Amino acid sequence: MRPPVPSWKLAERIINGEPAALPRLLTRAEEGREEVRDALDLIHRNTGRAHVIGMTGVPGCGKSTLVTRLARAIRDAGRSLAIIAIDPSSPFSGGSILGDRVRMGDLAGDPGVYIRSAATRGAMGGLARGTLDAADILDAAGFDLVVIETVGVGQDEVDVVRASHTTVVVSAPGLGDDIQAVKAGVLEIADIHVVSKCDRRDAARTVTELREMLALGGGARHAGSGWTVPVLGTSALKEEGIAELLAAIDGHHRVLRESGALEGRCREIAERRMLKAAEEIVRENFARHREGRVASMTDRIVSRELTPHAAARELLRLSRAATGN
């Protein structure tokens, strides 16, 4: 049996335009293998060309169908795209349905489209662990657009805004999305609002309510860029509003570039990734020491000999010692 191809070699192949290496490196990145770190560093130095789009919204709003129609429009325009479709993991087994590949089956066979399903595996925020590494890999592979379709959005599930250049929030009539939007802060995170299933009678009411809410208090995220957040109606069934959505996505990216706000977005993403990476290092060290020193500190917290804050400082000290810093 041949030894496995080193991850750095897979990274080189991807950068050189060999798509066959994609699934193997994506899998290793999702698993968080230590040996993949150097490969991801190489990948990161070859990114920065793709337009990353986050698609989010409550479950049942039609995100996957809308992404499929949008992908067709992008391909008709002669551009390539990769889709990271995130599925929820079972809270009991940790398994995931990974059904987006089934729903997007009519895109299969198009060499200009790459679909990757990812399970959250307990990660909060609507994104799977390794999502941004996957986006980097697909960026380095040369795709023009990378679409991240999240699990859904809730009050704390807005991490997609820290992962994408353009955030599209999808609502559907009849789901109470107007109330949910206010609770979740969706008005603030959306660069583009979409009301799907606009062939339904109550869609116009949802569009009107969202526009009224935006007029009352949205747009802080867009200060200085000159971008006015649109509310668009789409119907995947009748294929209406898809061209307008793609035009809005391209228009938002253009405004970000021309206003200089794109650099600010990239800095926000970079800062968030750095902090998340630091959290992962601490979490891994916590797991390594859990049965030893951490268990002892936990006992001392329970007996009131040690405060949680002091224990956290000790945990960080252990982390620094473990990494030689």
pTM: 0.83
Q: Is residue 300 part of a domain?
A: yes
**Residues 108 and 166 occupy one common structural domain:** yes
**Residues 110 and 232 occupy one common structural domain:** yes
**Residues 285 and 160 occupy one common structural domain:** no
pLDDT at 114: 94
**Residues 183 and 283 occupy one common structural domain:** no
Residue 123 burial (CB count, 10 A)? 17
**Residues 227 and 281 occupy one common structural domain:** no
**Residues 105 and 243 occupy one common structural domain:** yes
Q: Is 109 helix (H, G, I), strand (E, B) or coil?
A: coil
**Residues 183 and 101 occupy one common structural domain:** yes
**Residues 183 and 231 occupy one common structural domain:** yes
Q: Amino acid letter at 227? A: W
pLDDT at 38: 94
73-128 pLDDT, tens digit per residue, is: 999 999 999 999 886 543 333 444 444 445 556 676 788 999 998 765 444 444 55
**Helical H runs in 130-222?**
131-140, 177-184, 186-189, 203-217
**Residues 104 and 168 occupy one common structural domain:** yes
Q: Per-residue confidence of the chain (325 residues) as pLDDT tens digits?
A: 667 899 999 999 999 999 999 999 999 998 877 889 999 999 999 999 999 999 988 777 888 889 999 999 999 999 999 999 886 543 333 444 444 445 556 676 788 999 998 765 444 444 556 788 999 999 999 999 999 988 665 544 567 777 899 999 998 887 555 555 555 567 778 899 999 988 888 888 888 888 888 887 655 566 667 899 999 999 988 889 999 999 999 999 999 999 999 999 999 899 988 888 888 777 777 777 666 777 888 889 999 999 999 988 887 777 676 655 5
Q: Is residue 96 part of a domain?
A: yes
d(CA 116, CA 267): 26
**Residues 205 and 64 occupy one common structural domain:** yes
pLDDT at 73: 96
**Residues 277 and 206 occupy one common structural domain:** no
Total tally of structural domains belonging to the chain: 2
Domain residues for the domain of 192 are 47-259
Q: Is residue 61 part of a domain?
A: yes
145-184 pLDDT, tens digit per residue, is: 999 988 665 544 567 777 899 999 998 887 555 555 555 5
Query: If you average pLDDT over every residue of the chain, what do you get?
Result: 81
Final residue in a domain of this structure, among 235, 259, 283: 259
**Contact present, 119 and 89 (Cβ < 8 Å):** yes
